[in-house]
Amino acid sequence: MAGLLFLALAYLAVGQAAVNRSSAQTAADAAALAAAQKTRDQLAGMWVADVGDPTKWQDIFDGVGGVDFCSRAVQLASDNGATAGCQFRRPRSYKVDATTIKPVGDSVVPGTENQHATAHAIAVIEPLCKFKLPADGAKGADLPQLTCRDKVWHPKPDDTTGLPKPQDLFDVHLADSPANDQ
C-alpha cells in the first residue's frame, strides 16, 4: 500500500512539473507573438504611409525601420505568470526565454520546491506580398499591383481605403524549432 501511495505522489509531482512547464511555454509563446504582432502592425502602418512611393515598399517588407517591442513581450510574460528575456532579431523575429514566477512546489521529489520551469519561443514576421516596380522606379499615378498570397491589390496613391490589412501584408507565426535557432 505504501508503494502505491508513493507512486501516486510521484505521478502528482510529475504532473505539477508538467503544468509548470506548460505555463512557461504558454508565456514564452504569447510574449513572442505579441511583440511580433506589434512590429507587424507598425510595418503595415509604414507601408500605408508610404503607399504612394513604391520605391520604399521593399525595405518595409524586409523589416527595415521595424522597432523593438520587447517591452510588450516582457509585459505579456508577466501577465502570464513568468519573467522573460527578449531579443529583437533584426529584421523580423523575436526570441523569448520565459521562466515561471511560481516554483514547482513541494512534492515527494526532493529539491523541486525551488525549481522554476523555463521555455523558449521564436516568433517570425514573414512578408506575404510581391510586386514589381515600374521600369522607371518612380512615384506616379500608376502604382504597381501588390500580390499577397493569392489576392491582388491595386493601390492608388491618393486613396488609402480598401488597402490590405496588416495580416494581409505579413504573417506572424512561431518558428518550428526554437532549439535550433542561430
- What is the structure's pLDDT at 1? 78
pLDDT of residue 178: 46
As given in the structure block, the three cell numbers for residue 124 are 517570425
Confidence band, pLDDT 50/70/90 cuts, at residue 103: confident
Type of residue found at 109: V
> Following CA atoms 159, 160, 163, 165 in sequence, which dihedral angle do they give, to the nearest 10 degrees?
180
The rounded percent of the chain whose pLDDT value lies above 70 is 77
Residue 110 pLDDT grade (very low, low, confident, very high; cuts 50, 70, 90): low
Please give the Cα distance from 95 to 110 (Å, whole number): 32
Average pLDDT value for residue range 151-179: 86
Q: What b/e readout covers 14-30, taking b as 16+ CB neighbours within 10 angstroms?
A: eebbeebeebbbbbbbb
Read off the C-alpha cell for 162.
480598401
Angle between helices 2-49 and 70-79 (to 10 degrees): 150
Angle at 53 between CA 50 and CA 55, to 5 degrees: 115
3-state secondary structure of 165: coil
Q: What is the pLDDT of residues 113-125, one digit of tens each?
A: 678 889 999 999 9
CA nearest 72: which of 61, 48, 88, 91? 88
Higher pLDDT pick, 151 / 180: 151
Answer whether residue 42 is part of any domain: yes
pLDDT for position 152: 94
Which residues fall within 8 angstroms of residue 10, CB to CB, at 6 or more apart?
Answer: 108, 109
pLDDT of 117 reads 87
Is residue 151 a part of any domain in this protein? no
**The whole model's pTM is what?**
0.81
Per the structure, how many domains does the chain have? Answer: 1
More confident residue, 168 or 116: 168
Distance from the first to the final alpha carbon of the chain: 51
Ramachandran angles phi, psi of 127, nearest 5°: -70, 140
Please say if the pLDDT value at position 136 is more than 90.
Answer: no
Name which of 89-98, 127-136, 148-157 the model is least confident about: 127-136
Least Cα distance to 94 among 35, 176, 25 occurs for: 35
* Region 154-170 average pLDDT: 89
Alpha helices in the chain (DSSP H): 2-49, 57-61, 70-79, 166-169
Lowest mean pLDDT among 39-53, 121-135, 139-153: 139-153
Region 60-79: mean pLDDT is 92
Asked, for residue 145, whether it belongs to a domain, the answer is: no
Q: Which domain holds residue 55?
A: 2-127+170-180
